[in-house]
Amino acid sequence: MRTQVAIVGAGPAGMLLSQLLHLQGIDSVVLERRSREYVQQRVRAGVLEQGTVDVLREADVADRLEKQGHPHHGVNVQFDGDRLRIPLSELTGGRSITVYGQQEVVKDLAERRERDGGRVYYEVPDVTVEGVETEKPVVRFTSEGRVRELHCDYVAGCDGFHGVSRTTIPEKELTTYERVYPFGWLGILAEVEPSSEELIYSNHPNGFALHSLRSSTLSRLYLQCDPNESIEQWPDDLIWEELQTRLGTSDWKLREGPVIDKNITALRSFVSEPMRYGRLFLAGDSAHIVPPTGAKGLNLAVADVDRLARSLTDYYHHGSTTGLETYSEECLRRVWRVQHFSWWMTSLTHRFDGPDAAYDRRLQRSQFDYLRSSTAAATTLAENYVGLAAV
Protein backbone atom coordinates (compact mmCIF):
# COMPACT_ATOMS: atom_id res chain seq x y z
CA MET A 1 0.00 0.00 0.00
CA ARG A 2 1.06 3.57 -0.57
CA THR A 3 -0.06 6.92 0.78
CA GLN A 4 1.41 10.36 1.29
CA VAL A 5 0.87 10.58 5.06
CA ALA A 6 0.45 7.55 7.34
CA ILE A 7 -1.45 8.53 10.48
CA VAL A 8 -1.25 6.37 13.61
CA GLY A 9 -4.30 6.81 15.89
CA ALA A 10 -7.93 7.72 15.10
CA GLY A 11 -8.53 9.99 18.10
CA PRO A 12 -9.34 13.66 17.50
CA ALA A 13 -5.77 14.47 16.41
CA GLY A 14 -5.45 11.69 13.80
CA MET A 15 -8.94 12.08 12.34
CA LEU A 16 -8.74 15.86 12.11
CA LEU A 17 -5.36 15.68 10.41
CA SER A 18 -6.73 13.21 7.88
CA GLN A 19 -9.68 15.48 7.12
CA LEU A 20 -7.60 18.69 6.83
CA LEU A 21 -5.19 16.94 4.46
CA HIS A 22 -8.04 15.52 2.40
CA LEU A 23 -9.41 19.05 1.84
CA GLN A 24 -6.00 19.97 0.43
CA GLY A 25 -5.94 16.94 -1.88
CA ILE A 26 -3.33 15.13 0.23
CA ASP A 27 -3.86 11.40 0.72
CA SER A 28 -3.59 9.68 4.11
CA VAL A 29 -4.29 6.32 5.76
CA VAL A 30 -5.32 6.17 9.43
CA LEU A 31 -4.45 3.13 11.58
CA GLU A 32 -6.26 2.67 14.90
CA ARG A 33 -5.68 -0.02 17.51
CA ARG A 34 -9.22 0.01 18.94
CA SER A 35 -12.64 -0.47 17.37
CA ARG A 36 -14.58 2.48 15.98
CA GLU A 37 -17.27 1.97 18.67
CA TYR A 38 -14.67 2.06 21.45
CA VAL A 39 -13.06 5.26 20.18
CA GLN A 40 -16.43 6.98 19.84
CA GLN A 41 -17.90 6.15 23.22
CA ARG A 42 -14.88 7.21 25.32
CA VAL A 43 -16.11 10.12 27.44
CA ARG A 44 -13.53 12.89 27.56
CA ALA A 45 -13.53 16.65 28.19
CA GLY A 46 -15.89 18.95 26.37
CA VAL A 47 -14.62 22.52 26.21
CA LEU A 48 -13.57 23.88 22.81
CA GLU A 49 -11.60 27.09 22.50
CA GLN A 50 -12.73 29.54 19.86
CA GLY A 51 -9.62 28.74 17.80
CA THR A 52 -10.53 25.04 17.93
CA VAL A 53 -14.04 25.74 16.68
CA ASP A 54 -12.52 27.83 13.88
CA VAL A 55 -10.28 24.92 12.78
CA LEU A 56 -13.21 22.46 12.90
CA ARG A 57 -15.22 24.89 10.78
CA GLU A 58 -12.33 25.16 8.32
CA ALA A 59 -12.23 21.35 8.24
CA ASP A 60 -15.91 21.44 7.29
CA VAL A 61 -17.00 19.26 10.21
CA ALA A 62 -18.75 21.86 12.37
CA ASP A 63 -22.41 21.58 11.26
CA ARG A 64 -23.61 19.59 14.27
CA LEU A 65 -21.25 21.46 16.59
CA GLU A 66 -22.84 24.73 15.51
CA LYS A 67 -26.34 23.37 16.19
CA GLN A 68 -25.70 21.44 19.40
CA GLY A 69 -22.67 23.14 20.99
CA HIS A 70 -23.27 25.63 23.78
CA PRO A 71 -21.34 28.91 23.65
CA HIS A 72 -20.20 30.07 27.11
CA HIS A 73 -19.24 33.64 27.91
CA GLY A 74 -18.19 33.13 31.51
CA VAL A 75 -16.78 30.57 33.94
CA ASN A 76 -16.97 30.34 37.75
CA VAL A 77 -14.17 29.80 40.22
CA GLN A 78 -15.18 29.02 43.79
CA PHE A 79 -13.15 28.99 47.01
CA ASP A 80 -14.61 27.83 50.36
CA GLY A 81 -18.13 28.51 49.08
CA ASP A 82 -17.41 31.98 47.63
CA ARG A 83 -18.25 31.94 43.93
CA LEU A 84 -16.61 34.31 41.46
CA ARG A 85 -17.74 34.61 37.85
CA ILE A 86 -14.97 35.40 35.38
CA PRO A 87 -16.64 37.21 32.43
CA LEU A 88 -14.59 35.55 29.69
CA SER A 89 -15.99 37.44 26.71
CA GLU A 90 -15.96 40.83 28.42
CA LEU A 91 -12.28 40.39 29.29
CA THR A 92 -11.12 39.01 25.93
CA GLY A 93 -12.69 41.29 23.36
CA GLY A 94 -15.67 39.01 22.80
CA ARG A 95 -14.03 35.58 22.67
CA SER A 96 -15.83 32.58 24.15
CA ILE A 97 -15.67 28.80 24.57
CA THR A 98 -18.07 26.15 23.27
CA VAL A 99 -19.18 23.14 25.29
CA TYR A 100 -19.38 20.10 22.99
CA GLY A 101 -18.18 16.61 23.93
CA GLN A 102 -14.88 15.41 22.52
CA GLN A 103 -16.43 12.11 21.45
CA GLU A 104 -18.96 14.06 19.39
CA VAL A 105 -16.05 15.76 17.60
CA VAL A 106 -14.55 12.32 16.92
CA LYS A 107 -17.93 10.99 15.65
CA ASP A 108 -18.37 13.95 13.31
CA LEU A 109 -14.87 13.46 11.91
CA ALA A 110 -15.25 9.69 11.45
CA GLU A 111 -18.58 10.10 9.66
CA ARG A 112 -17.14 12.72 7.38
CA ARG A 113 -14.07 10.67 6.49
CA GLU A 114 -16.27 7.67 5.80
CA ARG A 115 -18.52 9.68 3.49
CA ASP A 116 -15.50 10.95 1.56
CA GLY A 117 -14.07 7.44 1.18
CA GLY A 118 -11.20 8.00 3.64
CA ARG A 119 -9.07 4.96 4.43
CA VAL A 120 -9.33 4.32 8.18
CA TYR A 121 -8.38 0.89 9.53
CA TYR A 122 -9.76 0.08 12.99
CA GLU A 123 -8.71 -2.82 15.25
CA VAL A 124 -5.13 -2.79 14.05
CA PRO A 125 -3.19 -3.84 17.15
CA ASP A 126 0.37 -4.24 15.89
CA VAL A 127 1.47 -1.07 14.09
CA THR A 128 5.24 -0.66 13.73
CA VAL A 129 6.86 2.47 12.31
CA GLU A 130 10.17 2.06 10.49
CA GLY A 131 12.63 4.08 8.45
CA VAL A 132 11.50 7.56 9.50
CA GLU A 133 15.12 8.71 9.40
CA THR A 134 15.22 7.75 5.70
CA GLU A 135 13.33 9.14 2.69
CA LYS A 136 11.04 6.12 2.66
CA PRO A 137 9.24 5.33 5.89
CA VAL A 138 7.23 2.11 6.13
CA VAL A 139 4.40 1.34 8.51
CA ARG A 140 3.62 -2.36 9.01
CA PHE A 141 0.41 -3.74 10.50
CA THR A 142 -2.04 -6.64 10.33
CA SER A 143 -5.62 -6.06 9.25
CA GLU A 144 -8.24 -8.81 8.94
CA GLY A 145 -5.51 -11.43 9.16
CA ARG A 146 -3.37 -9.92 6.39
CA VAL A 147 0.06 -8.46 6.99
CA ARG A 148 0.31 -5.09 5.28
CA GLU A 149 3.09 -2.71 4.42
CA LEU A 150 2.20 0.94 4.05
CA HIS A 151 4.78 3.05 2.21
CA CYS A 152 4.55 6.80 2.77
CA ASP A 153 6.36 10.14 2.67
CA TYR A 154 5.61 11.10 6.27
CA VAL A 155 4.24 9.51 9.45
CA ALA A 156 2.02 11.40 11.90
CA GLY A 157 2.11 9.94 15.42
CA CYS A 158 -1.36 10.77 16.73
CA ASP A 159 -1.59 7.69 18.93
CA GLY A 160 -1.85 9.25 22.37
CA PHE A 161 0.32 8.92 25.44
CA HIS A 162 0.49 5.09 25.29
CA GLY A 163 1.07 4.88 21.53
CA VAL A 164 3.95 3.36 19.58
CA SER A 165 5.08 6.41 17.63
CA ARG A 166 6.99 8.18 20.38
CA THR A 167 8.65 4.93 21.44
CA THR A 168 10.14 4.41 17.96
CA ILE A 169 12.29 7.52 18.49
CA PRO A 170 15.69 6.59 20.02
CA GLU A 171 15.67 7.53 23.69
CA LYS A 172 18.81 9.66 23.36
CA GLU A 173 17.02 11.94 20.90
CA LEU A 174 14.26 12.85 23.37
CA THR A 175 14.04 14.92 26.50
CA THR A 176 10.95 14.32 28.62
CA TYR A 177 9.50 16.49 31.34
CA GLU A 178 6.95 15.17 33.76
CA ARG A 179 4.92 15.95 36.87
CA VAL A 180 2.61 13.37 38.37
CA TYR A 181 -0.04 14.77 40.71
CA PRO A 182 -0.90 12.89 43.89
CA PHE A 183 -4.59 12.80 42.94
CA GLY A 184 -7.01 11.83 40.21
CA TRP A 185 -10.43 12.91 38.96
CA LEU A 186 -13.54 10.85 39.36
CA GLY A 187 -15.83 11.89 36.49
CA ILE A 188 -19.53 11.15 36.08
CA LEU A 189 -22.07 11.76 33.38
CA ALA A 190 -25.57 12.17 34.87
CA GLU A 191 -28.99 12.38 33.27
CA VAL A 192 -30.05 15.61 34.91
CA GLU A 193 -30.52 19.19 33.81
CA PRO A 194 -27.31 21.14 34.58
CA SER A 195 -27.52 23.05 37.86
CA SER A 196 -25.65 26.03 36.45
CA GLU A 197 -25.49 27.40 32.92
CA GLU A 198 -21.74 27.89 33.24
CA LEU A 199 -18.89 25.76 34.56
CA ILE A 200 -17.88 25.90 38.23
CA TYR A 201 -14.33 25.00 39.36
CA SER A 202 -14.51 24.66 43.14
CA ASN A 203 -11.80 24.41 45.78
CA HIS A 204 -13.28 23.04 49.04
CA PRO A 205 -11.34 21.78 52.09
CA ASN A 206 -12.39 18.22 51.09
CA GLY A 207 -10.86 18.73 47.64
CA PHE A 208 -11.63 19.95 44.14
CA ALA A 209 -14.96 19.56 42.33
CA LEU A 210 -16.10 20.67 38.88
CA HIS A 211 -19.57 21.22 37.52
CA SER A 212 -19.76 20.96 33.74
CA LEU A 213 -22.40 19.93 31.25
CA ARG A 214 -23.07 18.37 27.89
CA SER A 215 -26.65 19.40 27.04
CA SER A 216 -29.87 20.64 28.62
CA THR A 217 -30.43 17.13 30.02
CA LEU A 218 -26.87 15.92 30.72
CA SER A 219 -24.53 17.08 33.48
CA ARG A 220 -20.81 16.26 33.66
CA LEU A 221 -19.28 16.39 37.15
CA TYR A 222 -15.88 15.67 38.64
CA LEU A 223 -14.37 15.11 42.10
CA GLN A 224 -10.72 15.12 43.14
CA CYS A 225 -9.95 11.63 44.50
CA ASP A 226 -7.09 9.29 45.26
CA PRO A 227 -5.72 8.09 41.88
CA ASN A 228 -5.38 4.53 43.19
CA GLU A 229 -8.97 4.24 44.39
CA SER A 230 -11.21 1.92 42.43
CA ILE A 231 -14.53 3.16 41.14
CA GLU A 232 -16.30 0.52 43.28
CA GLN A 233 -15.27 2.52 46.34
CA TRP A 234 -17.54 5.31 45.12
CA PRO A 235 -21.22 4.33 45.13
CA ASP A 236 -23.47 6.96 43.50
CA ASP A 237 -24.86 8.20 46.86
CA LEU A 238 -21.39 8.98 48.11
CA ILE A 239 -20.47 10.79 44.87
CA TRP A 240 -23.55 13.04 45.08
CA GLU A 241 -23.00 13.74 48.77
CA GLU A 242 -19.41 14.79 48.12
CA LEU A 243 -20.36 16.86 45.05
CA GLN A 244 -23.04 18.68 47.11
CA THR A 245 -20.51 19.41 49.85
CA ARG A 246 -17.76 20.64 47.53
CA LEU A 247 -19.87 22.60 45.04
CA GLY A 248 -22.73 23.88 47.23
CA THR A 249 -22.98 27.44 48.50
CA SER A 250 -25.35 29.01 51.03
CA ASP A 251 -27.93 29.63 48.29
CA TRP A 252 -27.14 27.03 45.60
CA LYS A 253 -27.68 23.28 45.44
CA LEU A 254 -26.76 20.70 42.84
CA ARG A 255 -29.50 18.82 40.96
CA GLU A 256 -29.11 15.03 41.11
CA GLY A 257 -30.04 12.30 38.62
CA PRO A 258 -29.11 8.83 37.34
CA VAL A 259 -25.38 8.29 36.76
CA ILE A 260 -24.80 6.80 33.29
CA ASP A 261 -21.00 6.74 33.16
CA LYS A 262 -18.25 6.96 35.77
CA ASN A 263 -14.48 6.61 35.73
CA ILE A 264 -11.28 7.66 37.50
CA THR A 265 -8.30 9.24 35.69
CA ALA A 266 -4.91 10.10 37.17
CA LEU A 267 -3.59 13.62 36.61
CA ARG A 268 -0.27 14.23 34.96
CA SER A 269 1.75 16.84 33.10
CA PHE A 270 4.12 15.52 30.43
CA VAL A 271 6.11 16.91 27.49
CA SER A 272 8.43 15.07 25.12
CA GLU A 273 10.80 17.17 23.02
CA PRO A 274 11.31 17.51 20.11
CA MET A 275 7.99 16.68 18.43
CA ARG A 276 9.70 15.63 15.21
CA TYR A 277 12.20 12.91 14.41
CA GLY A 278 13.12 12.61 10.72
CA ARG A 279 9.88 12.04 8.84
CA LEU A 280 7.87 11.28 11.99
CA PHE A 281 5.79 14.11 13.49
CA LEU A 282 4.09 13.73 16.88
CA ALA A 283 0.81 15.55 17.51
CA GLY A 284 -1.55 15.67 20.49
CA ASP A 285 -1.30 13.39 23.52
CA SER A 286 1.54 11.36 21.98
CA ALA A 287 3.82 14.35 22.65
CA HIS A 288 2.23 16.01 25.66
CA ILE A 289 -0.33 15.60 28.43
CA VAL A 290 -1.88 18.28 30.59
CA PRO A 291 -4.02 17.80 33.70
CA PRO A 292 -7.67 18.35 32.71
CA THR A 293 -8.13 21.51 34.80
CA GLY A 294 -8.78 24.04 32.06
CA ALA A 295 -9.71 21.38 29.47
CA LYS A 296 -6.74 22.05 27.22
CA GLY A 297 -5.84 18.53 25.99
CA LEU A 298 -8.05 18.47 22.92
CA ASN A 299 -7.43 22.13 22.11
CA LEU A 300 -3.69 21.62 22.15
CA ALA A 301 -4.00 18.56 19.92
CA VAL A 302 -6.04 20.61 17.43
CA ALA A 303 -3.43 23.41 17.44
CA ASP A 304 -0.66 20.86 16.66
CA VAL A 305 -2.65 19.25 13.88
CA ASP A 306 -3.63 22.56 12.33
CA ARG A 307 0.04 23.49 12.15
CA LEU A 308 1.07 20.08 10.82
CA ALA A 309 -1.61 20.14 8.12
CA ARG A 310 -0.49 23.62 7.01
CA SER A 311 3.17 22.55 6.96
CA LEU A 312 2.42 19.44 4.89
CA THR A 313 0.26 21.52 2.54
CA ASP A 314 3.15 23.98 2.06
CA TYR A 315 5.38 21.05 1.23
CA TYR A 316 3.05 19.28 -1.21
CA HIS A 317 1.73 22.42 -2.92
CA HIS A 318 4.80 24.66 -2.90
CA GLY A 319 7.73 22.36 -2.16
CA SER A 320 8.53 24.31 1.00
CA THR A 321 9.87 22.40 4.01
CA THR A 322 10.14 25.44 6.30
CA GLY A 323 6.90 24.65 8.14
CA LEU A 324 7.96 21.05 8.69
CA GLU A 325 11.37 22.13 9.93
CA THR A 326 9.95 24.60 12.48
CA TYR A 327 6.94 22.45 13.44
CA SER A 328 8.33 21.19 16.73
CA GLU A 329 9.68 24.51 17.95
CA GLU A 330 6.49 26.39 17.02
CA CYS A 331 4.22 23.81 18.64
CA LEU A 332 6.27 23.64 21.82
CA ARG A 333 5.82 27.35 22.50
CA ARG A 334 2.07 26.83 22.82
CA VAL A 335 2.54 23.50 24.58
CA TRP A 336 4.55 25.14 27.37
CA ARG A 337 2.15 28.07 27.73
CA VAL A 338 -0.67 25.57 28.15
CA GLN A 339 1.43 23.41 30.48
CA HIS A 340 1.84 26.42 32.71
CA PHE A 341 -1.82 27.41 32.63
CA SER A 342 -3.05 23.86 33.32
CA TRP A 343 -0.60 23.47 36.21
CA TRP A 344 -1.63 26.88 37.57
CA MET A 345 -5.38 26.12 37.41
CA THR A 346 -4.68 22.76 39.07
CA SER A 347 -2.58 24.39 41.81
CA LEU A 348 -5.27 26.98 42.50
CA THR A 349 -8.21 24.62 42.73
CA HIS A 350 -7.03 21.33 44.28
CA ARG A 351 -6.35 20.11 47.78
CA PHE A 352 -2.67 19.45 48.43
CA ASP A 353 -1.72 17.41 51.50
CA GLY A 354 1.66 17.21 53.17
CA PRO A 355 3.81 19.41 55.39
CA ASP A 356 3.12 22.63 53.43
CA ALA A 357 -0.65 22.11 53.19
CA ALA A 358 -1.71 24.99 55.46
CA TYR A 359 0.68 27.42 53.76
CA ASP A 360 -0.44 26.31 50.28
CA ARG A 361 -4.09 26.86 51.17
CA ARG A 362 -3.34 30.42 52.27
CA LEU A 363 -1.63 31.04 48.92
CA GLN A 364 -4.68 29.70 47.10
CA ARG A 365 -6.96 32.00 49.10
CA SER A 366 -4.72 34.96 48.28
CA GLN A 367 -4.74 34.12 44.56
CA PHE A 368 -8.52 33.74 44.61
CA ASP A 369 -8.92 37.15 46.29
CA TYR A 370 -6.56 38.65 43.70
CA LEU A 371 -8.71 37.22 40.88
CA ARG A 372 -11.72 38.84 42.51
CA SER A 373 -10.15 42.26 43.01
CA SER A 374 -7.94 42.68 39.95
CA THR A 375 -9.09 42.90 36.35
CA ALA A 376 -5.51 42.11 35.27
CA ALA A 377 -5.54 38.84 37.23
CA ALA A 378 -8.99 37.85 35.95
CA THR A 379 -7.93 38.72 32.39
CA THR A 380 -4.90 36.42 32.65
CA LEU A 381 -7.21 33.55 33.52
CA ALA A 382 -9.76 34.53 30.86
CA GLU A 383 -7.37 34.90 27.93
CA ASN A 384 -5.68 31.59 28.66
CA TYR A 385 -9.01 29.85 29.23
CA VAL A 386 -10.52 30.94 25.89
CA GLY A 387 -7.17 30.22 24.24
CA LEU A 388 -4.40 32.57 23.17
CA ALA A 389 -4.50 33.39 19.48
CA ALA A 390 -0.73 33.75 19.20
CA VAL A 391 1.81 32.40 21.66
Q: Which residues are catalytic?
A: 72, 201, 292, 296, 385
CA pair distance 378, 48, nearest whole angstrom? 20
The one-letter amino acid code at 281 reads F
198/285 with CB nearer ligand APR? 285
The candidate with the shortest Cα–Cα distance to 272, out of 291, 288, 284, 283, is 288
Q: In what order do the strands lie in the sheet with 280-282?
A: 119-121, 28-31, 5-8, 154-157, 280-282, 276-277
CB of 255 to ligand PHB, least distance (A): 16
152/254 with CB nearer ligand APR? 152
Site string for ligand APR, 269-308 (x = CB under 6 A): ---------------xx-----------xx--x-------
Length reported for the chain:
391
CA pair distance 191, 258, nearest whole angstrom? 5
By CB under 6 A, residue 292 contacts ligand PHB: yes
Tell me which of ligand PHB, ligand APR, none is bound by residue 11, counting a contact when its beta carbon lies within the kind-specific cut-off of 5 to 8 angstroms: ligand APR
With CB under 6 A as the contact rule, the residue among 19, 52, 195, 293 that binds ligand PHB is 293
By CB under 6 A, residue 387 contacts ligand PHB: no
Q: What residues between 85 and 124 interact with ligand APR by CB under 6 A?
A: 102
Q: What residues between 23 and 42 interact with ligand APR by CB under 6 A?
A: 31-34, 39
The candidate with the shortest Cα–Cα distance to 98, out of 302, 343, 385, is 385
Count how many Cα atoms sit within 13 Å of the Cα of residue 325 in the half-sphere of its side chain: 5
CA pair distance 101, 212, nearest whole angstrom? 11
Q: Which stretch binds ligand PHB (CB under 6 A): 25-33, 44-52, 262-270, 347-355?
A: 44-52
Residue ranges that bind ligand APR, judged by CB under 6 A: 8-14, 31-34, 39, 44-45, 102, 127, 158-160, 162-164, 284-285, 297-298, 301
